[in-house]
Amino acid sequence: MPCPSLCNSLIKPASDTIFFLCDTDIPYEDTWDRSGQVHRIRMQRRIESDLIARKIPFTFLRGSLEQRIQSVMSLAKICGRV
């Protein structure tokens, strides 16, 4: 089995997994473990493309921290997680 197929089979999420992708609409905080503002949009597109290519459903989180938390909590309630 080629590596990409093997990797995909090993990391396939459970059917009840909820993926959230934080949008880039909040200020960038440059820390030692990040690749820099220059790469932010490119990395965001890569992550989104990877989720789409693997047919993994995801929800964008946008807005303030409070709005993002509310979005997660609302979806969790709809899905019976809380």
pLDDT tens readout for residues 54-71: 999 899 999 999 999 999
Q: Is residue 12, in this structure, part of any structural domain at all?
A: no
Residue 58 lies in a domain: yes
14 is a domain residue: no
Domain that holds residue 51: 20-25+34-82
The answer to whether residue 82 scores a pLDDT higher than 80 is no
Q: What pLDDT, in 10s, does the model give residues 11-37? A: 555 666 788 999 988 888 888 887 777
Residues 76/13/66/62 CA torsion (nearest 10 deg) = -120
Number of domain units in the chain:
1
| C-beta separation of 44 from 81 below 8 A | no
Predicted TM-score (pTM) of this structure: 0.67
Question: Is 82 among the domain residues?
Answer: yes
Query: Is 67 inside a domain boundary?
Result: yes
